Amino acid sequence: MTSVLNISCYKFVPLPDAEQLRDQLHAQAVAAGLKGTILLAEEGINFFLAGTAEAVRSFVDSMRADARFADLAPKESWSETVPFRKMLVKVKREIIRMDHPTIRPAHGRAPAVEPATLRRWLEQGHDDAGREVVTLDTRNAFEVDAGTFTNAVDWRIAKFTEFPEALRAHKAELQDKTVVSFCTGGIRCEKAAILMQEEGLEHVYQLEGGILKYFEHTDGAHYEGGCFVFDERSVLAPDLSAPAPAPADRAQE
């Protein structure tokens, strides 16, 4: 019986009070019986939580009382057991490390493409303007090995901080194409899309909600394999079930 609700969510929003929020959110999450990880930084919040549906959704509702989090829209999946061992809340320099301080998604994000639109583009072989569509995997190589879009561009990066250098080395290959950056839940491809715009690529999108939202809102067509997730489920299939273990390396950066 899949009675455990798992959620993942992020938002780029200025949080100058991240230190205070750490203690507040940790106390609330523990009181609710939740397990998982919440990452806070001046640039925003990123979290992965699991528990009973009532507890998880009540916790998110309490977060939405803060105007900065009013529009949180977590991605949901289900499991038989809680895939986390403890409840951690951490304050970091970035909620996803890129080491590129000019990238500030809270000040304006790149255009996003909805999962259904991307599926249609991949099905027809071009975007609505007739341009070739390239899907760009912004994840680490071991994550890509668990599954990715058919013919996705994969630069074999070992951590996300390598993405800017890889982009500059391969940028010419992406010119004049519609580039859709994607990742697990949207956070890395959001920063990646902004950087691509800064580097002069004109037709850049991020996949809204990442692979998990693509699985949730489409039939998973044009995607091969599963999606690596950073909890004990390891890999999720397109129906958001956990079919098999993934590689042991779990370094998210």
Give yes or no: 183 in active site. yes
What pLDDT, on the 0 to 100 scale, is given for residue 241?
Answer: 82
pTM for the whole structure: 0.86
Q: How many Å apart are CA 208 and CA 66, to the nearest integer?
A: 23
User: At residue 248, does pLDDT exceed 50?
Assistant: no
Looking at 89-93, 99-103, 133-137, 209-213, which range is the least confident one? 99-103
Domain ranges of the chain: 4-91, 105-236
What is the domain class of 4-91 according to CATH?
alpha beta
Query: pLDDT by residue (tens digit) across 186-214?
Result: 999 999 999 999 999 999 999 999 999 99
What pLDDT, on the 0 to 100 scale, is given for residue 106?
Answer: 78
* Catalytic residue (one of 9, 183, 189, 227): 183
Mean pLDDT of 42-52: 96
Find out whether 125 and 75 touch, Cβ atoms under 8 Å: no
Domain 105-236 indexed as CATH 3.30.70.660: no
Find out whether 239 and 196 touch, Cβ atoms under 8 Å: no
Strand 44-51 and strand 4-12: the pairing is antiparallel
Q: Could you say which DSSP state residue 126 is in?
A: S
User: At residue 246, does pLDDT exceed 70?
Assistant: no
Whether 4-91 shares its CATH topology with 105-236 is answered no
Q: How many Å apart are CA 54 and CA 58, to the nearest integer?
A: 6
User: At residue 176, does pLDDT exceed 90?
Assistant: yes
**Torsion angle (degrees, nearest 10) of CA 94, 100, 106, 109:** -130
Helix axes 115-124, 210-217, angle to 10 degrees: 80
